[in-house]
Chain A
Amino acid sequence: MAGLSFSDVSKLFAGTRALDGIDATIAKGEFVALLGPSGCGKTTLLRLTAGFEIPDSGTVTLDGQVLAGAGRFVAPEDRNIGIVFQSYALWPHKTVAGNVSYPLEVRRIPAAERRRRVAEALELTGLSALADRAPAQLSGGQRQRVALARCLVADPRAVLLDEPLANLDLALRAAMQEAFAAFHRRTGATMLYVTHDQTEALALADRVAVMEGGRIRQFASPEALYDRPVDCFVAGFVGDGAVIALAGAGAPHAGRVAVRALGQEIEARCDGAAPTHLCIRPEQLRIDPAGPIRARVSACTYQGGRFRLVLETEGDTLVAHAPARARVGEDMRLSLHSPWAFRDPASPAVLRMLQDA
């Protein structure tokens, strides 16, 4: 299905590339998270979708209609896209019901239908009892839901959420995450969700676009990002664990490859030729007195039910989980099971290869 698509979208701010050749297609009804550190361009991409920014080049289309690009620009007020702001942006001079009914008033919906749809949206977000309150009288979570109701009431073609949980406390965040997921199941709306919190992104989204330096580094399902990162940034940014450079690699065969790392010959998963790096998740490392890898504990932190160990080997740092507390300075032996080998496009080995070619 068509959904929302970006084709070679770039945006400059005062000479720096906030977005640099973004290509992505989001299917209708899909829940996509944009994940990245601050300054990576995720919010710019969201604002560009809403129409608050104009791309310097490239095309944005929604359901086959060109929103921006090729000399065309559809104003934000004509896009019918809903947005929930980080600050919620509730209008303080209007009541909860007044905020929610505004998009319908602008669209000149008759009063009777307006009342019905506002009531419906408030019901859906569990706000019916608060309809006549002023935004100032609401709690953070309630404000969040008003913003959501306001953006849904007009049946938007897509819903954009800009770090919607950033201002909420931990407990409320978990509750709102469930509310968003349930809400997405009920409405089937196309949703684009900006966050810098990977737990949130991995928990909620069908697919996650990991962004860095104005580019999408990897756009895949949460499990693929965790299991099969495509470069060092994604491997390091998503999930816990270690990324180490390979000393050498054999020829891959049927998704397996023999690589040299940590002074050992290791069998790893892979999906391409000439891997340069290894991504080792904590659960792929086992404390094993007969294991081939020697390491010394440099830190041990309790994570509820298990301990997280930081281990130093000759030249590399690893992360493992242990059932019992370990002493800092203690020596251990480890074995490694099915880590992920990948080719980082920016690594020196790859650059060398490119130069040779």
Chain B
Amino acid sequence: MIASPRTAISRSPDRLISLLLLPVALIALGPILRLLGEGFGIGSGATLSHAAEVLGRDSTLTALRHSLATSGAGTLISVAIGAGFAFVVALTDIRAKGALVFCLMIPMMIPPQITALAWMQVTGPSSVLLKTLGIAPPLGSPQPLHSAWGIAVLLGIQHASIVFLTLRAGLRMIPGDLVEAARISGARGWRVWAQIVLPLCLPSLAAGAAMTFVTALGNFGIPAMLGIPARYSTLPTLIYQRLAGMGQSVLPEVAVLALLIGTVAIAGVLAGRLFLRRRAHGLVGLSAQPLSLSLGRKRPLVEALLWTFVVLTLVLPLLALVATSLIPAYGVPLTHKTATLEAWAEVLLNQPVTRRAYANSLLLATLAAAILMAVAIPLAWIMHRRPTRLTRAVDALVDLPYALPGVVLAISCILAFMRLPFGFTLYGTLTIILLAYLSRFLVVMLRPVQAAIGQLDPAMEEAAASAGARLGRRLRTIVLPLSAPAAAAGAILVFLTAVNELTVSALLWAGGTETLGVVIFNLEDSGDTVMASALAASIVALVIALMGVVQLSASRLPKGTVPWQG
């Protein structure tokens, strides 16, 4: 009755496994803490005056301004797209919601540099698609996406699903009877939406916007592909260019830049959490009946609008990407005579760099998924069944390496692992990338497993204890099999995110440790657009296939496991 299951037995063997928290905390949070130390001048000789000097430079201020402008505009575009879709999907009776949501999620799961690459194949004078259709602008006219607006629009499309997911979750918390009460009071249509639904979901919308802003701020792939050719630098690309051009000597300087972007991001994260905390206020405990407004005869029109948008922002760029990957050389139009799979064969079978990148990325993604799966189940169990101040702190901070921009984590990892005791260094090895991935993606793995373990009836384990099973055996025979599906879904998500990853590895790679993200970027940078497109298209195919696996198994997974199912 009063007995809450969480206050149950705690005995000495339990305390031993709490030791698991220590390495997890070290790997997940250590690098970030190391960076904070660097910023305050601990252990590097750098002082606050150095920080002030870096922050006062024109290049820093310009990059900061560009970062804020592109992420701000991108966030507005994301809000427009994401909120539109969320309201229609969550509130109305349109058909094929599952397929629509799946398509809306794809841009978020595709690596940003691939998004940029694909869009560049739609616009501009050398677009294969436009040439094939005969509507390409004349040679020499500028690529319209190589601009601040181009960056903002693509950031907006890439991150619209964040707004969508947060807002939809908020809308689902609004009890249907609130709307029914408004309708019985005589309000209808727009009035219900504007006076009841909108005010209630505003905190969710604000939280989604804050998260989108933070993600856009940390995005490296899009400003790198679109901004660097136009000499339009944002903070992440500035850090990348400084580090790539000058090497380790600029570490103290880029650490300050990383702290700057980290500070802006944390402000965004905190704002998001604040809004999220407000949204549940006053809505708890009421009967939650999902809202379902009938669109009537307008339904086909609304559906057509939504799907047209999906075709324009997802199908068209991907078609353009595939078109480019099928021509023998850049600039040749695609016809049934010129079409060739040469680039695909070259990328997947012949080129040592791309093959190595595939091997590296798949190895890193597999290792990260496997290690995190092994850690996440006992960790989530401890956090849920034996909460202490330490586990709550880990729970609150574990978001940080994922929420903070990738460049911040990359710089943190360089600082933390470059000079280890006994003259040992991890810089330039696959291990440093793996450690960075473990830190960054722990939360991606942990949350689904936490959801699954949170839904496990504690009586399941108590029944096993009564049957005589000790802790180890209970974890192995009861908790593991019951949380395995969620862990598998989490592992696929980690795998997906790790394969897509560019920002962290762009700063951590060295000859021989290239990842897929890095190679696409380098191929495009050196003008090998056709090969870059073939490689990118193959990755998109892999990503969509893996997402499909998660989607198909969603009905068998505990609620809350698949992020886009909610």
Contact = CB atoms under 8 A, between A and B. Distances in A.
Interface of A: 13, 16, 18, 38-44, 47, 50-54, 73, 75-83, 85-87, 89, 91-93, 102-103, 106-107, 147, 150-151, 154
Interface stretch (B309-317, B322-330, B362-370, B466-474): B466-474
B457 A87 contact: yes
B3 interface: yes
A102 B464 contact: yes
Nearest to B485: A93
A151 B466 contact: yes
A212 to B, nearest CB: 12
Interface residues of B, number: 25
Across the A-B interface, the 10 shortest Cβ-Cβ residue pairs: A89-B459, A103-B467, A76-B465, A85-B459, A89-B463, A106-B468, A43-B1, A93-B481, A106-B469, A83-B466
Contact of A52 (B8, B457, B477, B481): B8
Given A52-B8, A85-B459, A18 B466 contact: no
22 contacts: A13-B3, A13-B4, A13-B7, A18-B2, A38-B1, A39-B2, A40-B1, A50-B462, A52-B462, A53-B7, A53-B8, A75-B9, A76-B9, A76-B462, A77-B470, A85-B459, A89-B457, A91-B478, A93-B481, A103-B467, A106-B468, A151-B466
A102 B467 contact: yes
Contacts of A47: 3, 8
B292 to A, nearest CB: 29
Contacts of B8: 47, 52-53
B11 interface: yes
Contact of B467 (A39, A44, A54, A154): A154
B482 interface: yes
Given A44-B1, A75-B9, 20 more contacts: A39-B2, A47-B8, A51-B9, A53-B3, A54-B9, A75-B11, A76-B466, A77-B465, A77-B468, A79-B466, A82-B466, A89-B457, A89-B462, A91-B460, A91-B482, A93-B482, A102-B469, A106-B469, A106-B473, A107-B468
Contacts of B462: 50, 52, 76, 83, 85, 89
Nearest to A162: B459
Contacts of B469: 77, 102, 106
A52 to B, nearest CB: 5
B463 A85 contact: yes
Contacts of A151: 466
B460 A89 contact: yes
Contacts of B459: 85-87, 89
A44 B2 CA distance: 7
A82 B466 CA distance: 6
Nearest to A99: B463
Given A75-B11, A92-B482, A50 B3 contact: no
A42 B1 contact: yes
A89 B465 CA distance: 12
Contacts of A44: 1-3
A146 to B, nearest CB: 11
A275 to B, nearest CB: 33
A274 to B, nearest CB: 35
A210 B69 CA distance: 70
A206 B404 CA distance: 64
A39 B3 CA distance: 9
Interface in B444-460: 457, 459-460
Contact of A83 (B1, B463, B482): B463
A183 to B, nearest CB: 18
Contacts of B460: 89, 91
Contacts of B465: 51-52, 75-77
**Residue of B4, B9, B457, B466 ringed by the most chain A CB atoms within 10 A:** B466
A43 B481 CA distance: 29
Contacts of B466: 50, 76-77, 79, 81-83, 151
Contacts of A93: 481-482
A274 B112 CA distance: 87
Interface in B1-46: 1-4, 7-9, 11
B472 to A, nearest CB: 11
B133 to A, nearest CB: 55
**Residue of B11, B465, B481 ringed by the most chain A CB atoms within 10 A:** B465
B467 A106 contact: yes
B150 to A, nearest CB: 51
A33 to B, nearest CB: 15
Interface string B28-71: 00000000000000000000000000000000000000000000
Interface in B387-413: none
Contacts of A81: 466
